[in-house]
Amino acid sequence: MRSQEAKVSPASDYYVYAPSALAARLYLYPTSVGYFYYEAGYWIRRNRFDSFLIMYISKGNCHITIPGKKLTARAGQFVLLDCYQPHSYGSAGSWDALWLHFDGRLARDYFEEITTSYGQILDTEDSDAPIQQLQKIYDVFRTSSTILEGKLSGYITKLLNNFLYSSEESRKNRVCGATMADAISYINEHFQSDLSLEKLAAESNMSLFHFTRVFTKETGITPHQYLIKTRLSAAKYLLKSTETSIKNIAFSTGFNSETSFCTTFKKWENVTPSQYRQSILN
């Protein structure tokens, strides 16, 4: 559809979309998408417009006002807005933007994760990647292509993930994340052994303090807690699926005694290993 807004060029076009019940329940989905050529002096103010907005500024500058903040996005930058909140944007000069209003069950989680870490004006390491996803969504509607809601959701997800993983800081986080993934794999392969924090830190080429801090940040629990959790998961599997004695289960899952195993199991699971086994059998 051609825009009829004041100070928006008639060459601009946009498309609206109402998701299916399934898409609204499961997916990220577009509610409208367009490419606008804004004339000098365009400004829009809304109390709310129930969706989230991504704009790619392809020409000129865009000035944004949100509660407690005034921002400016330049050509080559992206804007991410929570349009459930009061907002306004525009410019004294002319500017162009490819934009997408979207929503979905994970939309707010993505918005908060991205903006908390990187703000609402986004520069990406490879700006072509998010532009391509945004362009794909726009082209689906512009070319009257068959609308596949799962594919549209995939485009939006890739677009948002590009914002999450494109900065220098996030590259460092990916390195740490990969290191922690290796540490987790190591624990899963060697939990039956006498694993110490010093051993795990050495395997990750980190100091004990740094390893513990990064591991806890990545997983939400300490390395020791993860090791105990892994051992208990293995023990519960054996209790549920075999008739192996509790003593043998204790030693085979990395505990140094039956007493230590039973004490730890009761502390974490609120039942003894025998009670757990009996509850499964019943």
Whose tokens are 């051609």? That residue is: 2
Neighbour order of strands in the sheet with 78-82:
13-16, 28-38, 95-104, 52-59, 78-82, 121-122
- Supply the mean pLDDT for the chain: 90
pLDDT at residue number 177: 52
pTM of the model: 0.66
* pLDDT at position 168 over 70: no
- Which class would CATH give 168-282? mainly alpha
Q: What is the pLDDT of residues 4-38, one digit of tens each?
A: 899 999 999 999 999 999 999 999 999 999 999 99
Domain 13-166, CATH? 2.60.120.280
Residue ranges matching CATH 2.60.120.280 in the chain: 13-166
pLDDT at residue number 139: 96
**Read out DSSP for 193-215?**
S---HHHHHHHTTS-HHHHHHHH
Residue ranges matching CATH 1.10.10.60 in the chain: 168-282
Q: What is the pLDDT of residues 142-166, one digit of tens each?
A: 999 998 999 999 999 999 998 887 6
pLDDT at residue number 171: 47
Whether the CB-CB separation of 273 and 246 falls below 8 Å is answered with: yes
Whether the CB-CB separation of 41 and 118 falls below 8 Å is answered with: no
* pLDDT at position 175 over 60: no
CA trace torsion 170, 175, 179, 180 (10° rounding): 0
| Euclidean distance between CA atoms 107 and 111, whole angstroms | 6
